[in-house]
Chains A and B, each alone.
Chain A
Amino acid sequence: MWKDLLDLPRNVWRSIFRNPLPSSDRGRAATSFTNFFLHIQPVRVSKQALRPSYTMGLGLISFFLFVILTVTGVLLMFYYVPSTGMAYDRMLDLRSSVAFGIILRNMHRWAAHAMVAVVFLHMCRVFLTGSYKPPREFNWILGVCLFLLTLLSSFTGYLLPWDQLAFWAITVGTSIAGYAPLVGKELKFLLLGDANVGQEALLRFYVLHVVVLPAVLTIFVAVHFWRIRKDGGLAKPEPAALPPAAAAEPDVAAAAAVPAAEPARRFVIQGLVRGPLVKVGKLEEDTVFSWPNLLIAELVVLLLTIAGLLAVSYFFNAPLEQPVNVMHPPNPAKAPWYFLGLQEQVSYSAFWGGIGVPGIELLLLVLLPFIDRGKQGVGRWFARERVLANSVFLLFVLINVVLIVIGTFFRGANWQFVSPF
């Protein structure tokens, strides 16, 4: 009886964490797949995937930003009221009267902007390392969807402070949606619930922002992560040791069997740890155990994200402009920065700039893995074999960045060209 009581803490601990802190390879493997939060990670991870210069942690940063956004967002929800009469007052309260209000709002705001940027950079990383090639085509498509969802989440959140900046940015943004052919007007009406941005739009954007989009985003993130595992981890370069002649030698059937063989190997490891299987699969040589190598790397990225965000949020306040005045649009009224490239294009042609060109760009992005079927240059930055694809992609990125820079800094009243200097 006494002994049971004395052992109580240890027994509770054991019931939660099946494995003691691992000291053997077998223990390290077991730790990974007996823990709910760790089992999404592989037992062993390739050294290449751990190199900071390879991924720059961009995907992880995006995910951590999303987590931070969820946490700060839920806390902000305790104060926010999606009503045109009260939203702005609540912003003022957050700014000076609510405990931690300003830091919460700043973190949420800057994390939202950062997430748009980081998700985009992550996409660039995946492209430039050719990581969308088979078998990862579908995960690339999921990634494009996630990028769009990030944009939408950020955009719907932009309206909620209900200040001049928010009001007119959303007015401009939804007008761009209105240029879509056939369904444009209806889409805009559906989004706003009214002919103009008003109470209905605020409520709709609120619900989209706090419920619908985060839920969809979470599901997509889950599938995105799951696919990374099922597609064999992060993209690796083709084994350099294998001479090109040998690679060409196996017949078609053998080549098709290769992806199927990869998951099988992992089952082998699990079987080994659990006991019944005796057969030891050959471990890949350039891999290390996830515990603790991957875990530490992930923690570093998490802390780096939090530290950076805290610093920015401490020194820079999220903007809060005048209360909404429907009669006085600012001149120029600008969309959020990530849509300013679109707005700049719209200033040349409403349909082509707002719907046509971005639509084609998006379609190209989605179809990319099915257009570019070359097998070379996977898992390496700026692989020489992919010079054409990379150049075209970078050109598109450059054009869009330049358009955004022009829209942000070089456009003054009446969308006239002005110099910011």
Chain B
Amino acid sequence: MRLALAVLSLVVLIGSGVVVYDQFHSRWEDNQKAYFNQALGLAKTPAERASLEARVPKIEQTIVTGFGEQRIDRCVSCHIAVDDPRFTTEKQPLATHPYSEAMGDVLRNGRWERRHKFTDFGCTTCHDGQGRGLDRADAHGDDSFWPEPMLGYTMQDGWKKEISSHLHGKEYMQANCARCHTAKDFAGTPLVARGRELFFKTGCYGCHRIEEISSGTLGPDLTEVGKERKLDYLWGHIVNPRDYTATSIMPQFKLTDEDRKALVIFLKSRRGSDLTESDTERFRLKSANVTPALPGVSEPGAAAAGPALTPAARGEKLVGDLACMSCHKLGDRDGGISPDLSYEGLMRDQPWLMDHFRSPRSRIPDSNMPAFGLPQADFEAITAYLLTRTTPPAAATPADTFKTLCVRCHGEKGDGKGINYLYLDPAPRDLTRAEFMVSKPQERFIASIRDGVAGTSMPAWGKSLSDEQVKGVLDYVWQTYVKEPRRQLKPRKVPEQNPAPTSAESIGRGEATFMQRCTGCHGRKADGHGPNSMDISPRPRNLRNFAFMQHTPDRRLMESIEYGVEGTAMPSWMDYGLSQSDVGDIVNYIRSLNQTGK
């Protein structure tokens, strides 16, 4: 026992010694001492020498009050030579902060004068990082919990290599310059300006709102995105949104790394408030509730040029200016995300297009196209232009027709995985799934191609293709993808009309059954997003897609429920004990959901 006591006493003593030694031995002190020594060598007058010799290491700090919340920057405790022009060629942490005319520094009588004095600005106002820290890792924000690592310099531990390799460079600091220098064309922030331009050119503004800049509602508000997100998230999310949110409908835009960088810098500069405005001004701006004007659309210049152009010609210009082709295909320009507009005049009419512009989801309920806040006249012009796209595709062999018109959505393998299938909801039909294909009559497929499928992105090809061509394409699909002989379908006993009369009781019974049997896949809202829906292919039908439901006769609904749908996860509910009248109740319930639609 006594031996243990002696040993432990020694251990505690040594432990305390280590702790104490650690406390009185910091890097910043070493740095300051090194600086004093070097400066001593450079000192010219005895007075300077004496004052240097008298200096002992101490924590240096700047209390910054002028820019946003008060901040305390102790960076100078290590970077003690930032304002000493003799150390320009030194290595960090003992280097002079560079002088730059571009940043407003002036050379007067051989001495540089800073425009942004450290006593006013501190360091973190421009660089980010954690000003209070005295430890290298703490101060630079290496700790993955710190929300503001040094811009363009510090890559945190959790960041992916392939992302952070793009995030180095002092140009990322432009995001902080723009917090005071808010002018769009400020010379010091070219990448913020470029990012802002891209924000419109790639259509980001359509979905995302940024106060005073855009008013989209489909995606998250980005007004404070620079405060909430770090560079790695911004970059990674633009490269692939679904790495972060599995169910995100944000398209993967085709951008170069340079463009991504500009966008990231622009987004990083959005911190909800800029440092030059007071709280009162901010409130005034907010309460004024200005609808932001879109650049290049409603600017005075465009209005002046307007009368000279016919609506269709103006529409064509708008389609280009508004960067519709960053998603859509038109002629040979293809954004690879949204449907082909090349034959739009043959597929849609004026009311459809106008409705769809005002609210895309009034026609295709699960569309991911934003409702752009353009003036009515602009929509009319674009509609007028699209209606001129009436040149049918050149007649070709069925194989070529399929390649030019169908592959973009249904995929080269016909498996419903074309380049844009991810953004279409409902997804394009998988044509290789033979069980499904042979279980439905030929007339249905012909009708789908000729008349389109309402409420989905499948357009009507009837005006573009002759009946012969339609049949040819279907035959081609059968030979190439289905690869099974057509079957003589057994007639099924399904009534044409729903035999159950529509009544509150019937709907109630239908709802009860639906909640019991159907919600696992179709969801409690019947919107096709049940808990199992993510694991099912094809995905369960959204039964609130009123456009689709309106065009689907009772007979098809009842048949699908009673007999199931081959090649999908929909089982035959007759086998699970649902009677004809149960199914009728369910159909009544589903119909009741779509009464108020639109």
Contacts and interface: CB of A to CB of B under 8 A. Distances in A.
Contact of B59 (A97, A322, A325): A97
Given A300-B4, A314-B19, A97 B74 contact: yes
B12 interface: yes
Interface in B90-139: 130, 132-135, 138-139
A252 B483 CA distance: 97
B232 to A, nearest CB: 15
A323 B132 CA distance: 14
A96 B77 CA distance: 12
A296 interface: yes
A310 interface: yes
A306 interface: yes
Interface string A91-110: 01101110110010000000
B23 interface: yes
Contacts of A99: 23
Given A89-B132, A97-B59, A97-B74, A303 B11 contact: yes
B130 A307 contact: no
B146 A322 contact: yes
Contacts of A97: 59, 74, 132-134
A325 B143 CA distance: 17
B68 interface: no
A93 B132 contact: yes
Nearest to A328: B228
B12 A303 contact: yes
Given A97-B132, A320-B145, A300 B15 contact: no
B1 A300 contact: yes
Nearest to A311: B15
> Which of A96, A304, A314 has the largest count of B CB atoms less than 10 A from its CB?
A96
B228 A321 contact: no
Contacts of B9: 303
B308 interface: no
Contacts of A311: 15
Interface string A293-318: 10011011001101100110010000
A96 B139 contact: yes
Given A299-B5, A307-B8, A307-B11, A96 B147 contact: no
Contacts of B377: none
Contacts of B11: 303, 307
Contacts of B396: none
Contact of B2 (A92, A296, A314): A296
Interface residues of B, number: 29
A372 to B, nearest CB: 35
Contact of A303 (B8, B133, B143): B8
B138 A310 contact: no
Interface string B6-25: 00110110011011001100
A93 B131 CA distance: 10
Given A92-B138, A103-B23, A322 B145 contact: yes
A95 to B, nearest CB: 6
Given A97-B132, A100-B19, A304 B1 contact: no
A307 B15 contact: yes
A296 B1 contact: yes
A53 to B, nearest CB: 14
Contacts of B23: 99-100, 103
Chain A binding surface SS class: helix
Interface string B56-82: 000100000000000010100000000
Given A96-B138, A303-B11, A304-B8, A297 B1 contact: yes
A92 B18 contact: no
Contacts of A307: 8, 11-12, 15
A95 B2 CA distance: 38
Contacts of A320: 143, 145
Interface in A260-318: 293, 296-297, 299-300, 303-304, 306-307, 310-311, 314
Interface string A336-374: 000000000000000000000000000000000000000
Contacts of B133: 92, 95-97
A307 B2 CA distance: 17
B145 A96 contact: no
Nearest to B8: A303
A314 B8 contact: no
Interface in A40-94: 89, 92-93
A97 to B, nearest CB: 5
Nearest to A317: B143
Nearest to B4: A300
A310 B12 contact: yes
> Which of A99, A303, A320 has the largest count of B CB atoms less than 10 A from its CB?
A303
A92 B130 contact: yes
Nearest to A100: B23
A293 B1 CA distance: 9
Contacts of A303: 5, 8-9, 11-12
Nearest to A296: B1
Contacts of B5: 296, 299-300, 303
> Which of A163, A310, A325, A328 has the largest count of B CB atoms less than 10 A from its CB?
A310
B134 A96 contact: yes
Nearest to A163: B145
Interface in A3-54: none
Contacts of A100: 19, 23
A267 B1 CA distance: 30
A139 B51 CA distance: 68
Contacts of B8: 300, 303-304, 307
A97 B60 CA distance: 11
A51 to B, nearest CB: 11
Contacts of A164: 145
Given A296-B5, A322-B147, A328-B228, A314 B18 contact: yes
Nearest to A90: B132
B538 to A, nearest CB: 25
B70 to A, nearest CB: 10
Nearest to A303: B8
Nearest to B2: A296
Contacts of B143: 320
A250 to B, nearest CB: 38
Contact of B145 (A310, A314, A321): A321
Interface in B131-183: 132-135, 138-139, 143, 145-147
A164 B145 CA distance: 9
B132 A310 contact: no
A99 B23 CA distance: 6
A99 B284 CA distance: 46
Contacts of B139: 96
Contacts of B138: 92, 95-96
A296 B130 CA distance: 48
A256 B194 CA distance: 93
A306 B12 contact: yes
Nearest to B143: A320
B101 to A, nearest CB: 35
A304 B15 CA distance: 12
A99 B94 CA distance: 24
A320 B141 CA distance: 13
A299 B18 CA distance: 22
Nearest to B132: A92
19 contacts: A92-B133, A92-B138, A93-B132, A97-B59, A99-B23, A103-B23, A296-B2, A300-B4, A300-B5, A303-B8, A303-B12, A306-B12, A307-B15, A311-B15, A314-B18, A320-B143, A320-B145, A322-B145, A323-B147
3 A-B pairs with the lowest CB-CB distances in the bound complex, closest first: A303-B8, A310-B15, A96-B134
Interface of B: 1-2, 4-5, 8-9, 11-12, 15-16, 18-19, 22-23, 59, 72, 74, 130, 132-135, 138-139, 143, 145-147, 228
Given A95-B135, A299-B5, A322-B145, 20 more contacts: A92-B130, A92-B132, A92-B133, A95-B138, A97-B132, A99-B23, A100-B19, A100-B23, A103-B23, A163-B145, A164-B145, A296-B5, A297-B1, A303-B5, A306-B12, A307-B12, A310-B15, A320-B145, A322-B146, A328-B228
